[in-house]
Structure 1
């Protein structure tokens, strides 16, 4: 990985999805049409989701159904609603998210090659995770499309039943109306899943990058923790050591401010994600076990549980890395330093007493323990649905 690489050189694939979702502005020269297009992409899911949502509501209220059909309709409705509610989150916080990414880009540009090498270990994790998640989200839509296509081709030639990937089947739908509705639905659902994945990965990428910045501060502290660097020769203060500690304090403060801003920006998106994906996980697992092992429901279950994990695990890691700063400060032999050095160490120690925590709507601190609890609740709800 070259030390001259820019921040977005490592996240070009994620940046593409962020721009297509309206989370980040379209790059290049600033034109009025780009601003309008970004705003349109941000609210687009709220508009086209009704194309899928209304048929499902009509199916539940006015048509006869069995348990399997009801579970599938509820599953798709939940997935649509999470896309619609997240579009509100993107519309409100889009500019603040852009500022967060800009601040991360500036920190990367200010880093020397040796520091970038450490941060790049976290960037690689975020890059691999986001790329796999974006691909998995689109593969899930492909599974639904392929399943509906196979169902349609398996019907006899004189059959009037028409299958759709994300809405109930219809009878006596003439051509080309059926083909047009099918194509529009497929395009809309690919856009919707990409949008949801972009919202999920916004917090994941930013959190892992901030973990890299905290790891960098920890290395700076441990590089300056030897007693020799804290010795005062002939009453003169080691100015180089003071500058190094100042650098640690400044970077630590910047990262804490970014963590606080990330918490304020992303908390409601996390709340939406936890609630909806817990029910999606339960509904897909119940549908999978009740419908003779439908692969598309199994794929939905895997994607939803991974989405929860990829939100809780980075947040748990961020808390751990922030507490490691306190441990690194504790190892510094401050008692051999000057009064100014002792003051700076005390300031840094005081700031690192509380770990950085990301929450879901200020209610649930995101951690692996929270992931375990949410998964357990989803399984309990799944068992309840299976008993119906």
Structure 2
């Protein structure tokens, strides 16, 4: 099962990456076998990369800068491993989120104003996804260029690999070097894709949910636009049969309520699937930004290593921003439902049975909208733009402590 043809570059690009990882909806059994093989390869690549880094850490213990460098790599590996494990555990629910996005959000019947909301949402998705993808791909490219540049002035017997491997083999000699180099690069790119593709998709889901809340606000505020002209004329004349208008209004409003309930349920399912990833990611971001800052500003490393971490810290900041901003959009737009209710023509409804029920339901909607939809870090905190500033503040504190420690030992 794949998305129909769409002009949404962000979804098309992200779906390609997720197919490469192996977590995407299969159309038939043969395609499902390919997905299973791809997931297996992804797990092997992550385990292979983790083994390389842990072994290098053991042999490099005592070299502070090298250990910091390896720790940065291990944090990225652990995040990629956690994301795929969590989503494999919630695979059915994750696929339902994808199908619901496709059927109810992307290809629903919208009027011109609602289409403009969806187009604005797509533009935001394209910006965030493109920038994060470029940053991570640039980081991966810098990892590959590092040994290529370093080997220019070296003998063939003294060549280095993208990552140190401590095995009892002549890895600097042909063909061992070329085989090992290709294996490391393939694993590197697969791990990199696993690291960011799920964050891209979560951002897309969040922004589309926020857009649906905006569309719901418009429909509630302009509920008469959803009704036929005959009913509208009855409302304008305020004739003795105006109860017909109240009945029609109430029926249309119930559709909006059902849409609101569906969006709330969708947000709860998002929270259920992604809350553990959110928790660990927010906790790890502070440490990663701190350690990347150390590699850029303090550590005595080559320019290519600094380039790696400049690209990586740019990706981290974008990743954190799109993550917290998209969650904040859900909070703000779900709260604005209560404001949209006041803009409707409910004061003109007659005191009929439908009119009284309508006012009661309006009150319930306002009360429910006062509690926003949100994503949390396993229930410990709500993710919003305030989380972004908190993570940066914590990272700055960690960096200050690390700098003082380095200055004290030097």
TM-score (structure 2 length as normaliser): 0.85
Say if 2:21 and 2:38, in contact at 8 Å, map to a contact too. yes
Match of 2:242 in 1: 236
CA distance in 2, matches of 1:306, 1:44: 28
Residue 249 of structure 1 pairs with residue 249 of structure 2: no
Matches for 1:107-256 after TM superposition, within 5 Å: 107=104, 108-114=106-112, 115-155=114-154, 157=155, 160-167=157-164, 173-224=172-223, 233-237=239-243, 238=245, 239-256=247-264
CA distance in 2, matches of 1:348, 1:316: 21
CA distance in 1, matches of 2:43, 2:141: 22
Using the TM superposition, give the Cα deviation of residue 22 of structure 1 relative to its aligned residue in structure 2, in angstroms: 2.2
Say if 1:287 and 1:297, in contact at 8 Å, map to a contact too. yes
Query: Taking structure 1 as reference, are residues 9 and 369 closer, same or farther at Cα in structure 2, changes over 3 Å only?
Result: closer
Matches for 1:31-50 after TM superposition, within 5 Å: 31=29, 33-50=30-47
Which of these residues, 95, 98, 108, is aligned with residue 98 of structure 1? Answer: 95
Say if 1:43 and 1:88, in contact at 8 Å, map to a contact too. no
Cα deviation 1:248-286 (Å, max 9, x = unaligned): 112111111111111111111112222233222111111
Query: Taking structure 1 as reference, are residues 113 and 284 closer, same or farther at Cα in structure 2, changes over 3 Å only?
Result: same
Query: Taking structure 1 as reference, are residues 120 and 341 closer, same or farther at Cα in structure 2, changes over 3 Å only?
Result: same
CA RMSD in angstroms comes to 2.6
Using the TM superposition, give the Cα deviation of residue 329 of structure 1 relative to its aligned residue in structure 2, in angstroms: 1.2
CA distance in 2, matches of 1:348, 1:372: 32
SS at match of 1:359: coil
The number of residues matched between the two structures is: 380
CA distance in 2, matches of 1:126, 1:241: 35
Query: Taking structure 1 as reference, are residues 44 and 361 closer, same or farther at Cα in structure 2, changes over 3 Å only?
Result: farther
Say if 1:52 and 1:166, in contact at 8 Å, map to a contact too. no
Cα deviation 1:148-177 (Å, max 9, x = unaligned): 21012133x37x433222446998632211
CA distance in 2, matches of 1:90, 1:356: 21
SS at match of 1:365: coil
Say if 2:21 and 2:194, in contact at 8 Å, map to a contact too. yes
Match of 1:22 in 2: 22
Query: Taking structure 1 as reference, are residues 181 and 65 closer, same or farther at Cα in structure 2, changes over 3 Å only?
Result: farther
SS at match of 1:49: helix
TM-score (structure 1 length as normaliser): 0.89
Say if 1:79 and 1:276, in contact at 8 Å, map to a contact too. no
More displaced 10-residue stretch of structure 1: 374-383 or 308-317: 374-383
Say if 1:23 and 1:97, in contact at 8 Å, map to a contact too. no
CA distance in 2, matches of 1:223, 1:339: 20
Cα deviation 1:224-260 (Å, max 9, x = unaligned): 3899959853153214422331221121111111111
CA distance in 2, matches of 1:137, 1:41: 21
Residue 347 of structure 1 pairs with residue 364 of structure 2: yes
Using the TM superposition, give the Cα deviation of residue 209 of structure 1 relative to its aligned residue in structure 2, in angstroms: 0.4
Say if 1:200 and 1:307, in contact at 8 Å, map to a contact too. yes
CA distance in 2, matches of 1:10, 1:288: 30
CA distance in 2, matches of 1:251, 1:370: 29
CA distance in 1, matches of 2:236, 2:310: 59
Matches for 1:72-91 after TM superposition, within 5 Å: 72-91=69-88
Which of these residues, 44, 51, 57, is aligned with residue 48 of structure 2? Answer: 51
Cα deviation 1:349-369 (Å, max 9, x = unaligned): 232121011112211211111
Which of these residues, 372, 385, 398, is aligned with residue 381 of structure 1? Answer: 398
